[in-house]
Amino acid sequence: MSEEILINVTPRETRVAVVENGMLQELHIERGWRRGVVGNIYKGKVQRIMPGMQAAFVDIGLERAAFLHANDIINACAPDVQTDVRDEAPVAAPAVPSPGTRPIHELLRDGQEIVVQVVKDPIGSKGARLTTQLSIPSRYLVLLPGSGVIGVSARIEDEDERARLKGLVAELALPGAGHGYIVRTNAEGQPSEALVEDIAYLDRAWKLVEEQFGNSRLGSCIYEDLSLPMRAVRDLMRRDVEKVKVDSRETCERLRQFAARYMPGLAEKIEHYGGERPVFDLYGVDDEIQRALEKQVPLKSGGYLVLDQTEAMTTVDVNTGSFLGQRNLEETAFRTNLEAAQAVARQLRLRNLGGIVIIDFIDMQDAEHRRQVLRTLEKALQRDHAKTTVYDFSPLGLVEMTRKRTVESLERQLCEPCHECGGRGMLRTAETVIYAIFREIVRAVRQFGSASLLVIASANVVARITEEESAAVAELEEFIGRDIRFQADDQYSQEQFDVVLL
């Protein structure tokens, strides 16, 4: 599989695209005034304890107070050590009471200073999600300060290699520091020298965090993760990546220096793109981004998906569309669902949709067909960097799955609620607005009385009133005994109108 990473840098925005076989699979965006805060470590202050929720709100200097659950407080309980890590970084525990968790008021107090790390960006109306179980990632390892645990990414499947890496890290870990480490997927096949460099780097980073905590004021960031281009090279660049193309000479040079230090075998894959056409245009990335903001996704067979994102979950509806198949309905449904399973995996990754996902595949009676569709979905999700869990078909024929969400979806990063419809995604029809105007006219006359009235509305609504509803207007004038005038205003949306008493 051919994979390339494209990095587009402008003064206020950086975009990173992962392209596999010429097709966009992932998009990451960082804007200067709104950088993500996942991975940042803060010196916070407990603002309010919420015993009923087993949680606390912590002021870390952001717009909204952040959320810290008791399960995410180190030493709150003693869970079993998890040594197989799918996504190579500590994951916030689910916010449900754990039998071994101590009450929140025994763990924290109002006004207490605390070191916390962001595990989930503020999303929608919710503040950032925090943990006190700190971690600092490098190229091959993740440092777990003070934990003493050594784990290996579950994506490294070879048992001999897992044992080698675990033994190496245990041997190389700095004596007396008491730190734990997670061995990342990128470490597979790496010599001990590479791990020694990472351990030394992480030790320096942690000492800086400790120093900053003593010298910084409350609400300040004491450790900040790398910028997006650096993170992309650190986290996404593997041996099977053919090229990293960067359209900024300065950024390209910084990335080469970074790679030469931490991944010398891959540094030569980073190249400056100086072509006349924008690098994203060359690969059609901007067109793919536009399509990723639409609800409907066409399939090659003629079928299509419909994706709906809500606060609670994302739903995916699979339809056969114009695909008629060649044998029977069962075979048509099976073929469409197989194609849809691969498309769903790509769309979740591309759109960065997370949380609960419900997929409504076309009904299939054959149990083997259902098994193959589920297997296809799971296989397609294996290249996703986010942790996913897929459950079997429900009695209603739905597939439920979860995908770890740490940042806003692509749609919510790039779009905002429709001002025309108040965020509903739908507009009232001109006919509905006209009848609302008629009701408002009657209400105004009865309440205030007036010689005549002026209605100001959008050009579309006024045109329909004066042309198609002229008879209804005449009847209304006779009913209220008043003259009604209409005035079009291009500044009004279809749903807006004013009834003015003259």
pLDDT tens, 351-396?
999 899 999 999 999 999 999 999 999 999 988 888 899 999 999 8
Identify the band that residue 326 occupies on the pLDDT scale cut at 50, 70 and 90.
low
* pLDDT over 70 at 404, yes or no: yes
Nearest to 142 by CA among 180, 113, 196: 180
pLDDT tens digits along 118-148: 998 888 778 899 999 999 998 889 999 988 8
pLDDT in tens, 225-245: 888 999 899 888 877 899 999
Q: What is the pTM of this model?
A: 0.73
Mean pLDDT value across residues 181-187: 89
Q: In the structure encoding, which two tokens stand for residue 401, read together?
A: 């799955």
d(CA 256, CA 267): 6
Least confident of 301-310, 427-436, 445-454, 491-500: 445-454
Tell me the C-alpha distance between 496 and 486, whole Å.
Answer: 14
> For 283-292, how does the pLDDT look when each residue is reduced to its tens digit (9 = 90+)?
999 999 999 9
Q: Does pLDDT of 265 surpass 80?
A: no
Query: Do residues 459 and 453 lie in contact, with contact meaning Cβ atoms separated by under 8 Å?
Result: no
Predicted local confidence at residue 216, as pLDDT? 86
Q: What interhelical angle do 249-262 and 228-236 show, nearest 10? A: 40
Q: What is the DSSP letter of 423?
A: T
Give me 20's structure tokens: 């596999």
Residue 498 has pLDDT above 90, yes or no: yes
CB neighbours of residue 426 within 10 Å = 9
Look at 102 and 55; give whichever has higher pLDDT: 55
pLDDT-based confidence at 407, cuts 50/70/90? confident
- Please state, in angstroms and rounded to a whole number, the distance separating the CA atoms of residues 238 and 246: 17
